[in-house]
Amino acid sequence: MREILQFQIGNCGINISQKIWEKLLYEHTCEEEKQEGYLQEKYMDTYFRQQKDGKWTPRSILADYDPESIQGVMKGSLGEVYDQENAFSGINGTIRTFADAHYNESKYIMDSVKDSIRREVEKCDSMQGVQLVSGIGGGTGSGLATSILVFFREDYPDKTVDFTPIYPSLGDELKAFEIYNWCFAMHHSIEYCDMSRPADNQALYQTLFRTLRIKESTMDEINSAIADSFIDLTAGMRYPMRNYLDLKKISTILRPFPRMSQFLQTVRIPYNKDERSQFISALHHPKSYLCGINLADDKLISTAVLLRNHTEVGQRFTTEFSDWRHNNKDKIRPFGFVTPHCFIAQAKLAKEQDEPSGSMICSSAAIKKYLSKYADAFTKLFASKQFVHVYLEQGMDEMEFTEAESNVNDLISEYTEYSGNYYSDGEGEGELDTED
């Protein structure tokens, strides 16, 4: 088996994890004590491990400095499903800064978290990697999450790390602590992650309204959309798939250079075979993504389309996809750095009654514009030295601010190298990779 271990860190990460596991339990027919079936038995091991009593428990580790957050999970509807030995909380409640969470409070729970990670890895036959989700505007989501990232990368350097950071929403109310925390988390993400799929609530409000026709999104619906991105990404690892994808293969397809690991993913989009063009267009629309980007802003480096429960893909879909891109280069700015330029994969789920849908994950230089907004906010704050003393008093050095800022700006510069001229006549485009 190719197991995946999940880390859900901080209040934000834990809330999203509730949706992830609800959806996984549904997909694998585990709800209402239904734990039988060929597909369920064969493919459940990716995210679940079977206990001695025959029940399945998530390969999940939850951690939050706020004990009420963990207590709420264990008293909730999924409390009996989790392994309670893999849930950790602090004693001092909510942490505001990266410095306090990363350097001070972590010493109270990190040893236990490390032991738990080692136990879970030992219970895997052939673990492919981990997925981590946290809100990096908060202290716990940035500081504790990066402590875990550093430990895992150093102890398991050959495993793939997929990180879903929830960015603080850009706007007039963006707080100093949030932008500082964001930059320090990004600094570690660049160094320790193979894949990073950012999301932000502000963009998701617009995405759910435009793409899924949800007029007034709730946090529950936003968390559900983020959870779908996990489900779609790993469908081919849990069910039969045409063109098999695992975490390492996705990372290899999309990442031109090791540091350029910032990927963009859409929400799950309904599919109708009679409206292929609309579906393909929606995959490229700026209001379909988990974060606020527009592919038309810069070069599209490489993509993977993840289809669910499609009864047909074949040459017809592939041809229409290729034709749409050829006719809409002003919207996507293709850059064929490798073949395949686009990888199309189709998963057949156990629940055939679920409507066909799909999503797209891609690597694009357009991410630099999105990152620059946060980096510029950090530069402005740091130049004025606002609240820097708080971080210094909690154990950080001012040089760490400079290093984090420099690392993020270096990444933006690397993406900038892909900007400028782009192909306008089809020359240099990579091939679509699919199987009939």
pLDDT in tens, 171-203: 656 689 999 999 999 999 999 999 999 999 999
The pTM assigned to this predicted structure is 0.91
* Residues in the chain, overall count: 436
Q: Work out the average pLDDT over 345-370.
A: 84
pLDDT at 254 over 60: yes
The CATH number covering residue 20 comes to 3.40.50.1440
AA identity, residue 88:
F
> For residues 305 and 343, is the Cβ–Cβ distance under 8 A?
yes
Identify the CA nearest to 133 among candidates 48, 198, 66.
198
Q: Token pair of 222, please?
A: 């936003």
pLDDT at 172: 55
Identify the CA nearest to 167 among candidates 131, 205, 198.
198
Give me the helix-helix angle, 145-155 and 106-122, nearest 10°.
Answer: 40
**Residue 186: inside a domain:** yes
**Which has the higher per-residue pLDDT, 64 or 339?**
64
DSSP state of 431: P
**Residue 30: inside a domain:** yes
> For residues 191 and 154, is the Cβ–Cβ distance under 8 A?
no
**Which has the higher per-residue pLDDT, 210 or 40?**
210
Q: How confident is the model at residue 347 (pLDDT cuts 50, 70, 90)?
A: confident
The residue behind tokens 């673990």 is 127
Q: How confident is the model at residue 52 (pLDDT cuts 50, 70, 90)?
A: confident
**Residue 241, beta-bridge partner list:** 347
pLDDT at 423 over 70: no
Identify the CA nearest to 203 among candidates 139, 97, 293.
293
pLDDT in tens, 261-293: 999 999 999 988 778 889 999 999 999 999 999
pLDDT at 339: 38
Q: What is the number of domains present in the chain?
A: 1
**Residue 183: inside a domain:** yes
Q: How confident is the model at residue 58 (pLDDT cuts 50, 70, 90)?
A: very high
pLDDT at 333: 63
Q: Token pair of 364, please?
A: 């694009």
Q: How far apart are CA 416 and CA 298, in angstroms?
A: 9
> For residues 197 and 229, is the Cβ–Cβ distance under 8 A?
yes
> For residues 47 and 234, is the Cβ–Cβ distance under 8 A?
yes
Q: Which residue range forms the structural domain that includes residue 139?
A: 4-251
pLDDT at 377: 94
The rounded percent of the chain whose pLDDT value lies above 70 is 86
Q: How far apart are CA 235 and CA 359, in angstroms?
A: 11
**Residue 282: inside a domain:** no
Compute, in degrees rounded to 10, the torsion defined by CA atoms 434, 288, 137, 154.
0
Q: Work out the average pLDDT over 131-137.
A: 98
**Residue 302, beta-bridge partner list:** 363
pLDDT at 98 over 90: yes
Of all residues in the chain, what percent are helix, strand and coil, respectively (each to 5)?
Answer: 50, 15, 35
**Residue 281: inside a domain:** no
**Residue 395: inside a domain:** no
Q: Phi-psi category of 93—alpha, beta or left, where left has phi over 0 and alpha has psi -120 to 50?
A: left
pLDDT in tens, 302-336: 899 998 876 665 567 778 888 888 787 766 666 55
DSSP state of 265: E
DSSP state of 334: B
